[in-house]
């Protein structure tokens, strides 16, 4: 039930319909054009960034104690498990084993879509009249959702964040994203996609301060069938909520270039 | 010196017309830096033929193209004369042959379609493909079996109907629709196609661009000029230019959409010497009123480019006088700037290469507008110390022991402020997005995005310092004012760091122009505040930010550090110094 907001939305509508003598109360804030107003600072809760699937807790390198442990969490994959092809399941296992060195988040690489939306950091939605921008603090990631293109355009070049075209379907912002380079991991557990990934995202307001977020993942080179994640995004309600700079590059440099440092063992190898 | 497309002369028919002064498209003039190289290039790649005793002229399948050595400030694209069109039997074969030439040196620059293809079919019309010559003239190939050879000149107009009326009524062309699809005017065998200018604003004037003007031959030039004068057109009286090969007179008129048009008598054979053309299209001086977003704030949204400002030095060079460079000085400064900033890149790699960039290089002498000297105010002792250290690192940086010894830009962390706003040799895109109460400013290089509130927000705490500080904005009329403080001081700007107070002013000064001012206040570094300014130009039609994933592909770090270690090993082995 947690993964499906539809029954909840229906209740609101029915309640509105019954109270015929009351002025209709719109639970969704509206933008200048009547579409839902998604402006503001949002953030996912939960453990999707650690592992998209159901998982108990597990540990990591012990050097820093509990900091490297993974908290337990309910999965956000609607189908329960990601329908990997056999080779891809094996690849995921290899990724998991190497996650503290190979996850693209560890290296401060751009997080890609959909991962940017459920990292444990706030992001800012700016809803303009032609574009919607999403600005993330991590790795200076951002995306521009083109609302002004009648037909989606091919991505001119593959990229980490892909190319996004959006449209409104009723009160749902639907975003088609493609043109990924296939390098960004989907979480810290090694889940992944390839450069043939296509993502259809649906942002459906549940009220003024929450959005039901769904992302349907289609990648015939990695999965046996499309699959979907679904989770809520919450508005950050602090009066001064904002996205702060998280320029993480320098925290990744020892991992990436430490072997080339003066005095490092076998320097230059 | 840049090349200029000079003149194309069509040996076509004189058109019968309702007026006495029916004209014939006589030549196209291309300005460029190397006319003789251009004659060779047009011969090698387009099959045009050199003209005896006229070393700067080519006969391009029936059209005379005159090349003039001169300074251009941009290619033909973006002007009222977008391109010239040649008809060949097989466009695909032609494009594949040109692809094989490559882009190196004075090669052939192909313009591919969005799907990567070189040729596209327009059903019912023709197949077509596009290239640029090395100096920025756009050339289209079509396959029109009825007319192989020089086929058309493509005009772009804010008001195509009016432009067609001009060429038909004033110059005596025959208005028509080519193959029921393309509107235009025929002069003999050659079409002037006129399409709607696809961008915001107006096309740039052709003067100073690669295709400098198009020329029409007219039997009775005096009657035509009288007719034009009666129509209140801006005409320059015909005269025999200096060093002319014949006694044919040449006049000029400003046509629609900034297209410079020459009028010549039919025996025109050009000039012996290079000739510069000085008639400038009239500037639109109407004050600009900034549009509002649908929710009522000044609208700065769009894709802006800092390309035109590339090359402006921060401080005014001491040897320069006046506030503005000549077009020639600006062009040569740009050429020095693009060549000097990234060595080893071919012209095609640099966004600001003359002839390719759509906008003219700025003639601004220096960015600093206050103080009026154009130079930074005197520095404090601390400022001098820091400035000297920066210069030392710039010119004499020791071998890097680790990443932290390299600049934050090389490390793909940040360029800092206001450095990240500065025009560079490429990736000068600036995307401005707005939502009620917020403006997001993203600079293409290195994809840093600043989200700026425009309503009062509490300041951040003293312990939160950022590379780009804290930006707080407000609207002062139509100007977005952004105050930035709270820098971590690690991306130093000419010595300013943690104490810098930066005030930026963003203001649209035209439909396609954004003025950017930055005021630097740091009394620990300078004895007085100072202000710089440059412009961005709107390019919504074509430009889009690419993802400048800097850190993700930073092979330079690995190479610099491993090279440093290798040098140290070499030094140790030879017993020399590091």
Domain boundaries, chain A: 6-260
Higher pLDDT pick, A49 / B541 = A49
Task: Tell me the pLDDT tens digit for each residue of B271-330.
Answer: 886 544 433 334 456 778 999 999 999 999 999 999 999 999 999 998 888 888 887 788
List the one residue out of B469, B471, B534 whose CA is nearest residue B496: B469
CB within 8 Å: B435 and A128 = yes
Of B442, B466, B566, the CB nearest to A245: B466
Task: Tell me the pLDDT tens digit for each residue of B44-58.
Answer: 999 999 998 888 899
Token pair of B430, please? 């600036």
CA B536 – CA B156 distance, rounded (Å): 23
CA A181 – CA B491 distance, rounded (Å): 31
CB atoms within 10 A of CB B459: 12
Second-level CATH architecture of B3-264: Roll (3.10)
CA B331 – CA B354 distance, rounded (Å): 7
Residues 6+ away with beta carbon under 8 Å from A167 = A147, A173, A174
pLDDT-derived band at B353, boundaries 50, 70, 90: confident
Size of interface A-B (CB pairs under 8 A): 134
Greatest CA separation found in chain B? 90
Domain boundaries, given as residue ranges, for chain B: 3-264
B301 touches chain A (CB under 8 A): yes
**B516-522 mean pLDDT:** 98
Of B411, B458, B468, the CB nearest to A245: B468
Minimum CA–CA partner of A245 in chain B? B466
CA B192 – CA B566 distance, rounded (Å): 62
Higher pLDDT pick, B393 / B120 = B120
Whether residue B527 is predicted with pLDDT greater than 80 in this model: the reply is: yes
B458 touches chain A (CB under 8 A): yes
Contact present, B41 and B244 (Cβ < 8 Å): no
Helix axis angle for A249-257 and B555-574, nearest 10°, is 50
Contact present, B521 and B511 (Cβ < 8 Å): no
Answer positive or negative: Cα dihedral of B493, B337, B549, A150: positive
Greatest CA separation found in chain A? 80
List the one residue out of B69, B75, B76, B57 whose CA is nearest residue B31: B69
CB within 8 Å: B568 and A262 = yes
Contact present, B19 and B151 (Cβ < 8 Å): no
Task: Tell me the pLDDT tens digit for each residue of B88-106.
Answer: 999 999 999 999 987 666 6
Minimum CA–CA partner of B464 in chain A? A244
Of B434, B557, B569, the CB nearest to A126: B434
Residues 6+ away with beta carbon under 8 Å from B256 = B80, B157, B159, B162, B163, B166
- Which of A36, A37, A132, A133 to probe by mutation at the B interface, max B CB count within 10 Å? A133
A-chain residues within 8 Å CB-CB of B414? 247
**B488-514 mean pLDDT:** 94
Whether residue B345 is predicted with pLDDT greater than 80 in this model: the reply is: no
Contact present, B88 and B94 (Cβ < 8 Å): yes
- Which of A33, A37, A136, A142 to probe by mutation at the B interface, max B CB count within 10 Å? A142
CB within 8 Å: A154 and B115 = yes
Residues 6+ away with beta carbon under 8 Å from B441 = B430, B431, B432, B449, B450, B452
CA B385 – CA B117 distance, rounded (Å): 56
pLDDT-derived band at B1, boundaries 50, 70, 90: very low
- Which of A140, A166, A173, A246 to probe by mutation at the B interface, max B CB count within 10 Å? A140
Token pair of B145, please? 């079996």
Higher pLDDT pick, B115 / B158 = B158
Provide DSSP, chain A.
-TT--HHHHHHHHHHHHH-TTSPPP--S-B-TTSSB---EEEEE-SSTTT-SS-B--B---GGGGGGGPBPPB---BTTSS--B-HHHHHHHHHHHHTHHHH-TTTTT----TTGGGGSSS-EEEEE-SSEEEEEESBTT-EEEEESS-SSPPPPSS-BSS-EEEEEEETTEEEEEEE-B-S-S-SSTT-----TT-EEEEEEEEEETTEEEEEEEEE-TTTBSS-EEEEEEEEE--STT--PPPB--HHHHHHHHHGGGSTT-TTTT-
CB within 8 Å: A260 and B569 = no
A-chain residues within 8 Å CB-CB of B295? 31-32
CB within 8 Å: A140 and B412 = no
Q: According to the model, what pLDDT value does residue B112 have?
A: 85
pLDDT-derived band at B59, boundaries 50, 70, 90: very high
User: CA separation (Å) from B412 to B347, B408, B559?
Assistant: 24, 6, 14
List the one residue out of B470, B436, B468, B441 whose CA is nearest residue B454: B436
Shortest Cα distance, chain B CAs vs residue A173, angstroms? 16
Start-to-end CA span in chain A (Å): 53
By 3-state DSSP, what share of chain B in percent is helix, strand and coil, each rounded to 5? Answer: 20, 35, 45
CA B380 – CA B384 distance, rounded (Å): 6
Q: Among residues 373-432 of chain B, which lie with CB inside 8 Å of chain A?
A: 401-404, 411-414, 431
Say whether domain A6-260 belongs to CATH 2.40.128.20: yes
Token pair of B184, please? 């235009």
Q: For residue B519, give the DSSP letter.
A: E
pLDDT more than 70, % of chain B? 89
**A7-23 mean pLDDT:** 44
Whether residue B343 is predicted with pLDDT greater than 80 in this model: the reply is: no
B117 touches chain A (CB under 8 A): no
Tell me the backbone φ, ψ of residue B44, rounded to 5 degrees. Answer: -65, -40
Q: According to the model, what pLDDT value does residue B275 have?
A: 43
Task: Tell me the pLDDT tens digit for each residue of A187-245.
Answer: 999 999 999 999 999 999 999 999 999 999 999 999 999 999 999 999 999 989 999 99
Q: Supply the ipTM of this predicted assembly.
A: 0.90
Answer positive or negative: Cα dihedral of B59, B64, B67, B72: negative
CB within 8 Å: B466 and A244 = yes
B-chain residues within 8 Å CB-CB of A240? 457-458, 460
The answer to whether the pTM exceeds 0.80 is: no
Contact present, B172 and B227 (Cβ < 8 Å): no
Q: For residue B292, give the DSSP letter.
A: B
CB within 8 Å: A262 and B451 = no
Whether residue B192 is predicted with pLDDT greater than 90 in this model: the reply is: yes
Average pLDDT, chain B: 87
Contact present, A232 and B530 (Cβ < 8 Å): no
CA B164 – CA A94 distance, rounded (Å): 67
pLDDT-derived band at A265, boundaries 50, 70, 90: low
B-chain residues within 8 Å CB-CB of A157? 546-547
Contact present, B522 and B501 (Cβ < 8 Å): yes
pLDDT-derived band at B14, boundaries 50, 70, 90: very low
Q: According to the model, what pLDDT value does residue B276 have?
A: 40
User: CA separation (Å) from B202 to A152, B281, B512?
Assistant: 28, 12, 9
CA B538 – CA B540 distance, rounded (Å): 6
**B448-452 mean pLDDT:** 95
B-chain residues within 8 Å CB-CB of A137? none
B468 touches chain A (CB under 8 A): yes
Q: Where are the alpha helices (DSSP H) in B342-478?
A: 381-395
- Using a 10 angstrom Cβ sphere, with 0-12 exposed, 13-18 middle and 19 or more buried, the burial of residue B101 is middle
**Radius of gyration of chain A from its Cα atoms, rounded to whole angstroms:** 20
Q: Could you give the count of Cα atoms lying within 13 Å of B483 in the half-sphere of its Cβ?
A: 10
Contact present, B74 and B360 (Cβ < 8 Å): yes
Task: Tell me the pLDDT tens digit for each residue of A164-195.
Answer: 999 999 999 999 999 999 999 999 999 999 99
CA A190 – CA A50 distance, rounded (Å): 9
Residues 6+ away with beta carbon under 8 Å from B353 = B338, B347
Q: Which of B22-31, B122-131, B379-388, B560-569 has the lowest mean pLDDT?
A: B22-31
């Amino acid at each position: 039930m947690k993964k499906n907001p539809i029954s909840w939305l229906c209740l609101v509508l029915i309640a509105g319909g019954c109270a015929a003598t009351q002025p209709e109360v719109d639970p969704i804030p509206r933008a200048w054009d009547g579409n839902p107003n998604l402006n503001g600072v949002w953030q996912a809760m939960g453990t999707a960034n650690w592992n998209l699937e159901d998982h108990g807790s597990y540990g990591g390198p012990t050097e820093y104690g509990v900091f490297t442990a993974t908290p337990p969490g309910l999965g956000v994959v609607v189908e329960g498990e990601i329908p990997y092809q056999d080779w891809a399941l094996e690849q995921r296992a290899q990724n998991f084993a190497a996650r503290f060195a190979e996850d693209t988040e560890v290296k401060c690489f751009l997080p890609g879509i959909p991962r940017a939306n459920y990292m444990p950091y706030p992001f800012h939605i700016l809803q303009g009249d032609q574009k919607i921008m999403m600005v993330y603090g991590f790795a200076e990631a951002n995306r521009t959702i083109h609302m002004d293109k009648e037909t989606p355009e091919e991505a001119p070049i593959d990229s980490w964040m892909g190319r996004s075209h959006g449209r409104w379907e009723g009160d749902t912002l639907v975003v088609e994203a493609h043109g990924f380079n296939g390098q960004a991991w989907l979480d810290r557990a090694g889940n992944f996609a390839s450069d043939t990934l296509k993502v259809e995202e649906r942002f459906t307001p549940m009220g003024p301060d929450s959005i039901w977020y769904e992302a349907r993942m289609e990648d015939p080179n990695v999965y046996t069938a499309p699959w979907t994640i679904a989770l809520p995004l919450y508005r950050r309600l602090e009066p001064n909520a904002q996205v702060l700079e998280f320029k993480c590059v320098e925290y990744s440099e020892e991992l990436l270039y430490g072997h080339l440092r003066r005095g490092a063992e076998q320097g230059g190898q | 010196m840049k090349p200029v497309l000079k003149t194309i002369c069509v040996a076509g028919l004189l058109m019968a017309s309702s007026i006495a002064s029916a004209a014939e498209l006589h030549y196209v003039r291309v300005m460029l830096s190397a006319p003789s190289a251009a004659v060779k290039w047009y011969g090698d790649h387009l099959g045009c033929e050199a003209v005896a005793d006229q070393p700067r002229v080519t006969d391009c399948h029936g059209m005379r193209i005159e090349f003039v050595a001169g300074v251009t400030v941009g290619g033909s694209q973006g002007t009222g004369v977008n391109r010239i069109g040649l008809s060949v039997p097989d466009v695909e074969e032609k494009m594949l042959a040109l692809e094989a030439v490559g882009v190196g040196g004075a090669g052939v620059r192909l313009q591919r379609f969005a799907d990567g293809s070189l040729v596209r079919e327009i059903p019912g019309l023709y197949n077509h493909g596009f290239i640029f010559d090395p100096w920025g003239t756009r050339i289209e190939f079509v396959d029109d079996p009825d007319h192989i050879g020089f086929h058309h000149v493509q005009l772009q107009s804010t008001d195509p109907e009016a432009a067609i009326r001009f060429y038909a009524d004033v110059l005596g062309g025959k208005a028509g629709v080519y193959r029921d699809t393309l509107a235009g005017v025929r002069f003999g065998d050659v079409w002037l196609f006129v399409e709607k200018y696809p961008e915001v604003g107006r096309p740039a004037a052709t003067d100073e661009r690669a295709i400098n003007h198009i020329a029409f031959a007219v039997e009775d030039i005096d009657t035509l000029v009288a007719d034009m004068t009666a129509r209140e057109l801006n005409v320059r009286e015909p005269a025999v230019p200096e060093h002319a090969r014949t006694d044919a007179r040449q006049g000029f008129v400003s046509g629609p959409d900034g297209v410079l048009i020459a009028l010549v008598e039919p025996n025109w054979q050009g000039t012996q010497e290079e000739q510069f053309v000085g008639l400038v299209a009239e500037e639109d001086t109407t004050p600009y009123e900034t549009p509002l977003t649908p929710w009522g704030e000044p609208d700065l949204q769009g894709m802006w480019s800092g390309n035109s400002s590339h090359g402006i030095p921060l401080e005014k060079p001491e040897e320069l006088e006046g506030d503005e460079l000549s077009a020639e000085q600006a062009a040569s400064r740009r050429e020095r700037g693009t060549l000097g900033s990234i060595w080893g890149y071919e012209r095609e790699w640099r966004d600001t290469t003359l002839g390719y960039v759509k906008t003219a290089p700025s003639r601004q002498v220096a960015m600093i507008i206050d103080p009026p000297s154009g130079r930074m105010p005197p520095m404090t002792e601390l400022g001098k110390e820091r400035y000297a250290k920066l210069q030392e690192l710039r010119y004499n940086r020791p071998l890097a022991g680790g990443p932290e010894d390299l600049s934050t830009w090389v490390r793909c962390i940040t360029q800092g402020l206001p450095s990240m706003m500065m025009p560079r040799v490429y990736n000068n895109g600036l995307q401005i997005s707005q939502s009620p109460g917020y403006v997001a400013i993203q600079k293409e290089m290195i994809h840093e995005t600043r989200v700026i509130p425009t309503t009062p927000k509490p300041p951040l705490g003293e312990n939160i310092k950022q590379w780009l500080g804290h930006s707080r904005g407000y609207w002062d009329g139509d100007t977005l004012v952004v105050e930035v403080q709270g820098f971590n001081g690690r991306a130093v700007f000419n010595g300013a760091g943690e104490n810098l107070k930066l005030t930026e002013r963003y203001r649209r000064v035209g439909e396609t122009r954004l003025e950017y001012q930055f005021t630097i206040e740091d009394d620990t570094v300078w004895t007085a505040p100072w202000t710089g300014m440059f412009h961005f130009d709107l390019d919504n039609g074509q430009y889009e930010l690419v993802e400048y994933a800097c850190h993700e592909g930073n092979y330079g770090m690995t190479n610099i550090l491993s090279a440093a270690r290798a040098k140290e090993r070499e030094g140790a082995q030879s017993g020399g110094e590091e």
